Structures are given as C-alpha cells and as structure tokens.
C-alpha cells in the first residue's frame, strides 16, 4: 500500500487531531512539516488556493479537512473503529459544534495579550506577520480586530462547551463509552489547545474529569511516523498516476453538477477554492479531479457538509 503522508505543522490543533487518529489506528505514516504561514509550494501546486491544514495524502489522492478523516481511516483500517454505529451520531454532532464554532471562540480566549504570542516568536514567526496572514484567512467567520470586544462572550461559549463535554463524559473513560471514538478526537483538539502554553488553567480548573479524559487521549500518541518532505510527496503523486483512485465503500449519489468544472470551498473561513471537475458525490464527501501542472492528475476529497460546490460553467 502507498504510504500515508500527513502535511501538517506541530502547533495546529486540527493537525493534532489527525496525528492522534493515526495513532489510534496504529498506522505508519510519513510526516511532512509545512510552515505555519504560507508559502507552502507543494500544497499550493497540488491544491491551488486551498490552505487549510492538515492534508492527508495517499498517492494522487488528497484528503482535506479533518472531519472527513474518520470515515477515510475506517475504510483502510477498520479496527479500532473511529465511527462505530453507536458513536456516529454523537461524533457528527460534536464535530459540527467543535469544528469550527468552538474553535473560532478559542482565538480570543487563547490570545488575550501580546505576551500570549511569544510562542510564535520562539518559532521564528513575527506576531504581526501571523496576524496579517490570519485576518483575511479567518474572514468572514471572525473579525480578528474585534477579539477584545468579543472575548467575554467567547469565554462563556468555551466554558459552556467544556461543561457539556464533562457532562457527556460522566463516569465513562470516553465520550461514547469504553473505547475512544471520533467524538473524542473532535472534542480533544480544542482542549489540547487550551492546555498548551500559555495554559488557561483557571478556565480548565473546574473540569477535573475532563482533564483525566484529556490525559487518556494524549496517551494514545501519534503512532509510527517517519520524516518525509515535499520530494517524497511529489514522488507519491507521480507513482499514483497509474494507481487506482481511492473509492469509498459507501454509495455514490447522482448529482447534476457531476462532470462540470467547479470551485469547492469551505462555507465559513479559509474560503480559498479548490478548482477542478466534480467527479464524485456521496452523502459524506465530494471529490474534485484537477490537473496540476508539473504533478499530473489529482483527486481532492473534502466533506460534503460545510463545503460549497459552485459550478464555473453554465449548465
């Protein structure tokens, strides 16, 4: 089987979610670290304007948005499952709340002062450069210039979220029972961000059971990763030109837009589009096939929910 490659950076909460799910599946994977702030030449060549992280790659197939990954990973490695039947509904609901609604509320809570940006400086990133990059990226979902104004309401939202998670958890080890499921990873990465420096200990203090749960999720680890780079990704794409396209086991749907050129983009933020031909649609995902100069034919898969599919031609 062609190696799984994860394009990510260490400080990304969504990438931490992906790394833990790969660890949960006990999969070996190639780690391609990308800059926190673009340019990211290989991904830009492959995906066009789309810039959300992480991106999971296998050959010429690219899986964008961590909400799609539980279904994809369950296809290739059924055990242990991320979406067992009893956990699918709750996992879907938590993902829709945590990603991105709670995540958007985290920004004003995480970054209360310039001192909270010191981690960027230690990583060699000027805070001003980071803010100038993220402001247009996060629009229209959030106005970064209003962070101070909305901080109190954002904190209220986050506290309510943590309280609901702790109530759902009850006395169980995981949100859906005795085994970790997709719901846990969707919920955890936001808590992971609060526990990272600068820690928000006062915010987390009332949620002791949630802290123990977070420790259990962290202990799952990232599995077996090996350092890889953009050259490895390029070789994988070229090798994938003659390989069979990824085919999900769930049924496809008919759609009048199939075969037409489209832009596919998130409906909240990071709305830089993926352009190509709509080649597959199901109730869980859509696929865009695109010819990337210098790379070949690629297939880009995103979740169906929270993405817009906009035809570029006239029917």
Same domain, 61 and 154: no
**Is pTM, for the whole model, over 0.75?**
yes
SS3 59: coil
Q: 137 or 262, which is more confident?
A: 262
Q: C-alpha angle with apex 229: 224 to 231, nearest 5 degrees?
A: 130
Above pLDDT 90, what percent of the chain? 81
* Strands, sheet with 224-227, edge to edge from the N-terminal-most edge strand: 224-227, 28-33, 4-8, 55-58, 61-64, 296-303, 285-292, 274-281, 261-266, 307-311
pLDDT of 315 strictly over 60: no
Per-residue pLDDT at 198: 78
User: What does the alpha-carbon distance between residue 175 and residue 136 come to, in Å, rounded to a whole number?
Assistant: 35
User: What does the alpha-carbon distance between residue 39 and residue 143 come to, in Å, rounded to a whole number?
Assistant: 23
Same domain, 25 and 131: no
pLDDT band, very low/low/confident/very high, at 308 (cuts 50, 70, 90): very high
Per-residue pLDDT at 171: 96
The answer to whether 274 and 263 have CB atoms below 8 angstroms apart is: yes
pLDDT digits (tens, 9 = 90+) for 188-237: 998 998 998 878 899 999 999 999 999 999 999 999 999 999 999 999 99
Which CATH number goes with the domain that contains 152?
1.20.1050.10
Number of domain units in the chain: 2
pLDDT digits (tens, 9 = 90+) for 105-148: 988 888 887 777 777 887 889 988 988 999 899 887 777 778 88
The domain in which residue 57 lies consists of: 4-79+225-311
Among 165, 187, 220, the domain-final residue is: 220
Among 164, 194, 220, the domain-final residue is: 220
Which CATH number goes with the domain that contains 283?
3.40.30.110
- Going by C-beta distance under 8 Å and a sequence separation of 6 or more, which residues neighbour residue 66? 14, 15, 17, 18, 21, 54, 99
Same domain, 46 and 146: no
Same domain, 168 and 252: no
H-run or E-run covering 6: strand 4-8
Same domain, 150 and 33: no
pLDDT digits (tens, 9 = 90+) for 26-84: 999 999 999 999 999 999 999 999 999 999 999 999 999 999 999 999 999 999 999 99
Per-residue pLDDT at 39: 96
- Going by C-beta distance under 8 Å and a sequence separation of 6 or more, which residues neighbour residue 228? 3, 5, 30, 31, 32
Bridge partners, 278 (sequence order): 288
Q: 104 or 66, which is more confident?
A: 66
Same domain, 63 and 121: no
């Amino acid at each position: 089987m062609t190696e799984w490659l994860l394009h990510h950076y260490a400080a990304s909460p969504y990438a931490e979610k992906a790394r833990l799910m790969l660890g949960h599946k006990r999969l070996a994977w190639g780690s391609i670290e990308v800059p926190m702030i673009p340019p990211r030449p290989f991904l830009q060549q492959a995906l066009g304007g789309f810039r959300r992280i992480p991106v999971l790659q296998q050959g010429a197939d690219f899986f964008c948005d961590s909400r799609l990954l539980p279904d994809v990973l369950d296809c290739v490695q059924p055990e242990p499952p991320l979406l067992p039947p009893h956990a699918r509904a709750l996992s879907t609901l938590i993902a829709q709340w945590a990603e991105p609604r709670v995540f958007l509320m985290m920004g004003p809570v995480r970054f209360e002062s310039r001192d909270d940006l010191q981690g960027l400086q230690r990583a060699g990133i000027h805070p001003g450069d980071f803010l100038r990059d993220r402001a247009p990226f996060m629009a229209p979902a959030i106005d970064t210039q209003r962070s101070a104004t909305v901080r109190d309401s954002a904190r209220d939202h986050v506290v309510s979220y943590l309280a609901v998670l702790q109530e759902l958890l009850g006395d169980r080890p995981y949100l859906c029972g005795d085994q970790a499921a997709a719901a846990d990873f969707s919920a955890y990465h936001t808590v992971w961000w609060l526990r990272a420096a600068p820690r928000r200990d006062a915010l987390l203090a009332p949620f002791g059971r949630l802290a123990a749960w977070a420790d259990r999720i962290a202990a799952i680890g990232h599995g077996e990763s090996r350092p890889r780079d953009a050259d490895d990704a390029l070789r994988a794409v070229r090798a994938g030109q003659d390989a069979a396209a990824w085919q999900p086991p769930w049924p496809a749907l008919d759609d009048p837009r199939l075969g037409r050129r489209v832009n596919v983009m998130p409906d909240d933020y990071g709305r830089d589009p993926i352009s190509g031909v709509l080649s597959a649609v199901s109730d869980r995902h859509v696929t865009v096939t695109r010819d990337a100069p210098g790379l070949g034919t690629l297939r880009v898969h995103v979740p169906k929910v929270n993405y817009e599919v906009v035809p570029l031609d006239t029917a």
